[in-house]
């Protein structure tokens, strides 16, 4: 892209996104939306920076030009990553940062008032990692003429069906996912220290594939071994990998913030029968779930297909088995909308993307074999990656 248009997608793509968001705002009765989720900021404007530890947002009025708002030093990053012809850039000064005397939302309220946006109905992402209780109460006191309404996930839902441009980014991320999973499986040996392997996985992912450079993933490499694999979200330590233990690798290639997660499990030595039975059930459930993952079916149909396989194997799993994926920032690579579970009734549509994630986390062992999938126009879901679905065994 030229310096005049630094955003990673075409102007028409951002126009499509803004129009969808405004349509949802109008339906919800919103005059203004304050999008604090960095994924939503990037999706709406292209803004990209490690600045989400301070208050920032994209403000979308129902009519007129949106603007990015954040810390003064981060406004330099906004100038470099958003299309200035479509998005204004506003900032607050550093005396607002981590202050006990003033709050950035006071500055935002003043800027809304200056633009004639301080009354009416204003939507905020209340159930969000990046919007604090203090931010909410400050807006309430600073905007007395406004009605503050919960607009959690309003933008996230507009992201559910991926455009062709987004799918190209995800296919690039998938090539990195294939690379790092194969690398981890090849590198896994007795005596390899977990922290050293984690460092090598990071290096492999960020170096990318050919001209596809790797971005930092929203979640660190998850790679527990032995009894620790019963706890899917603990991180690495300095222990060595051992014969007689299974290790699963839950990793994601990332390209321009688009993620394609993937998990595979390796056993060093001869796996016991319970792990082999788990492998058989998970693979059977994956295959059944992929067949159920068709446009017109529901998210619960995928979960129920997996659950039937688990029931036949006598395995009580008791967890959701997937979630919508795409653009994301730490601490999560999911989109926080659809889940694959029996009570979720969302109708599947072409262009939806999920991490189909039937991990087993039992009392003292764990196993993960997963796929990132795309709902297609016709037939079962396609997978982004090309790693054999099985338990990898290294004697």
Beta bridge partners of 250: 222, 263
Rounded distance between C-alpha atoms, residue 260 and residue 368, angstroms: 15
CB 32, CB 184: distance < 8 Å: no
Q: Is the peptide bond before 338 cis (omega within 30 degrees of 0)?
A: no
Helix (H) or strand (E) holding 26, with range, is helix 11-28
Which tens digit of pLDDT belongs to each residue from 121-134?
999 999 999 999 99
CB 352, CB 163: distance < 8 Å: no
Q: Would you write out the chain's pLDDT as a tens digit for each of its 395 residues? A: 334 557 999 999 999 999 999 999 999 999 999 999 999 999 999 999 999 999 999 999 999 999 999 999 999 999 999 999 999 999 999 999 999 999 999 999 999 999 999 999 999 999 999 999 999 999 999 999 999 999 999 999 999 999 999 999 999 999 999 999 999 999 999 999 999 999 999 999 999 999 999 999 999 999 999 999 999 999 999 999 999 999 999 999 999 999 999 999 999 999 999 999 999 999 999 999 999 999 999 999 999 999 999 999 999 987 899 999 999 999 999 999 999 999 999 999 999 999 999 999 999 999 999 999 999 999 999 999 999 999 999 98
The pLDDT mean for the chain works out to 96
CB 242, CB 394: distance < 8 Å: no
- Give the pairing of strands 334-339 and 322-325: antiparallel
Contacts 24+ apart (CB under 8 A), 310-318: 310/281, 310/285, 310/358, 312/281, 312/284, 313/277, 313/278, 313/280, 313/281, 313/284, 315/277, 315/278, 315/281, 315/360, 317/358, 317/360
Which tens digit of pLDDT belongs to each residue from 346-395?
999 999 999 999 999 999 999 999 999 999 999 999 999 999 999 999 98
Residue spans of the domains in the chain: they are 11-158, 164-394
- For 11-158, CATH gives 3.40.350.10
256: how many CB neighbours lie within 10 A of its CB? 18
| Residues recorded for the chain | 395
Topology given in CATH for the domain delimited by 164-394: Creatine Amidinohydrolase (3.90.230)
CB 156, CB 335: distance < 8 Å: yes
Provide the 3-class DSSP secondary structure of residue 245: strand
pTM of the model: 0.96
């Amino acid at each position: 892209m030229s310096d005049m248009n630094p955003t990673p997608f075409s102007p028409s793509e951002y126009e499509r996104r803004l129009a969808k968001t405004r349509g949802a705002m109008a339906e919800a009765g919103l005059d203004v939306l304050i999008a604090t989720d960095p994924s939503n900021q990037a999706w709406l404007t292209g803004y990209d920076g490690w600045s989400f530890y301070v208050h920032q947002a994209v403000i979308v009025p129902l009519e007129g030009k949106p603007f990015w708002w954040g810390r003064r030093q981060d406004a330099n990053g906004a100038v470099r990553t958003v299309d200035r012809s479509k998005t204004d850039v506003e900032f607050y000064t550093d005396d607002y940062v981590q202050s006990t005397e003033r709050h950035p939302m006071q500055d935002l309220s003043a800027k809304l008032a200056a633009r004639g946006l301080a009354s009416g109905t204003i939507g905020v992402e209340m159930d969000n990692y990046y919007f604090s209780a203090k931010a909410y109460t400050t807006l309430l006191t600073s905007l007395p003429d406004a009605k503050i309404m919960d607009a959690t996930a309003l933008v996230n839902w507009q992201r559910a069906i991926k455009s062709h441009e987004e799918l190209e980014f995800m296919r690039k991320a998938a090539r990195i996912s294939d690379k790092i999973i194969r690398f981890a499986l090849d590198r896994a040996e007795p005596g390899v220290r977990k922290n050293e392997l984690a460092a090598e996985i990071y290096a492999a992912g960020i170096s990318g594939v050919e001209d596809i450079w790797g971005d930092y993933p929203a979640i660190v490499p998850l790679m527990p071994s032995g009894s620790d694999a019963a706890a899917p979200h603990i991180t690495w330590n300095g222990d060595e990998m051992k014969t007689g233990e299974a290790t699963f690798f839950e990793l994601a290639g990332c390209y321009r913030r688009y993620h394609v997660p993937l998990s595979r499990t390796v056993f060093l030595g001869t796996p016991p029968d319970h792990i082999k039975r788990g492998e058989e059930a998970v693979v059977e459930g994956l295959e059944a779930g992929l067949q159920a993952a068709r446009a017109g079916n529901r998210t619960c149909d995928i979960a129920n297909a997996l659950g039937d396989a688990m029931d036949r194997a006598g395995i009580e799993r008791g967890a959701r088995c997937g979630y919508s994926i795409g653009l994301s920032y730490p601490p999560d690579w999911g989109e926080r909308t659809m889940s694959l579970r029996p009570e979720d009734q969302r109708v599947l549509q072409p262009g939806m993307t999920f991490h189909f994630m039937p991990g087993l986390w039992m009392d003292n062992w764990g196993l993960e074999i997963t796929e990132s999938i795309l709902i297609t126009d016709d037939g079962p879901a396609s997978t982004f990656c090309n790693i054999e679905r099985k338990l990898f065994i290294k004697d």
